[in-house]
Structure 1
Amino acid sequence: MRLTQGAFSYLPDLTNEQNLGQLKFICSKGWACS
Structure 2
Amino acid sequence: MGSLIKKRRKRMRKKKHRKLLRRTRHQRRARGK
Q: TM-score, normalised by structure 2?
A: 0.48
Higher relative contact order (CA 8 A, sep 6+): 1
Q: TM-score, normalised by structure 1?
A: 0.46
Larger radius of gyration: 2
